[in-house]
Amino acid sequence: MKIVILCGGLGSRLSEETKLKPKPMVKVGNMPILSHIIKIYEKFGYNEFYIALGYKGHVIKKYFSKLKTKSKFHLINTGAKTLTGGRLLRLKKYFKKDENFMLTYGDGLSGQNISKLVKFHLKNKKIATMTIVRPPVRFGEVKIHKNIIKRFKEKPQISSSWINGGFFVFNSKVFDLIKNDQTMLERKPLEKLSQKGQLCGFKHYGFWQCMDTLRDKKFLENIYKKSKKKSPWLI
């Protein structure tokens, strides 16, 4: 099964690192986060990648030109200002009718079992499957009634809500829901799939972390150093 990795965004919230390179090329330990993501899939035997390039895509192209690997990579320019759905739409020609494929973003790590995600998707026979996670909570939680705080809990370990974990399996029918370059995948396409009962949620309870800010990068760096390269996203 093919894997799409969206790598074209500006990464403006991580501007300390992304002035000279795209966010997927920001290092965690001794290699870019993009390489960590690729290794997650390779661990489960998936090795054909479609990298959707945008902002400073030439940096990613240069990196892959020197990379020694058995995996197969297709580096495709999808525009500097194209949104997530539009980037995927530009890859439509690489997929057959009714073909299933995986997709993720170039800035998140997860310790989930990719093979189980695929099996879950194939079993449910829906157009899309989204990994859902409960994110860590950074601030104290308060419940208030008539100006009186009824409950306070300092930094609960995880939120009680489920959010988009960024690891998907799609059927190529999803392309019918994407209008143009300015379509955000997370808006109308996923909303319509949800309304039609065509979006499944695969619950992941283990390690998950996106890299949106410098704080997130430092957090991942610290984990990587402490784990002595046995990263929780590769265990």
Residue tagged 């966010």 (tokens): 23
**DSSP secondary structure string for all residues of 129-153:** EEEEE-PBP-S-EEEEETTEEEEEE
Q: What is the pLDDT of residues 22-50, one digit of tens each?
A: 999 999 998 999 999 999 999 999 999 99
In which band, very low, low, confident or very high, does the pLDDT at 135 lie, cut at 50, 70 and 90?
confident
User: CA 11, 17, 22, 23 torsion: positive or negative?
Assistant: negative
Instruction: For the chain, give the percent of residues with pLDDT over 90.
Output: 78
Range with the poorest average pLDDT among 4-13, 50-59, 153-162: 153-162
pLDDT at position 230: 76
Range with the poorest average pLDDT among 42-51, 80-89, 115-124, 127-136: 127-136
Q: For 106-113, what is the mean pLDDT?
A: 96
This prediction has a pTM of: 0.90
Q: What is the pLDDT of residues 179-207, one digit of tens each?
A: 999 999 999 999 999 999 999 999 999 99
Rounded Cα gap, residues 15 and 9, in angstroms: 12
pLDDT over 80 (residue 147): no
Quick one: which of 75, 126, 77 has its CA closest to 100? 126
Q: At what angle do helices 114-124 and 33-43 cross, to 10 degrees?
A: 60
Rounded Cα gap, residues 33 and 216, in angstroms: 12
CB 191 within 8 A of CB 160: no
Domains of the chain: 3-226 (3.90.550.10)
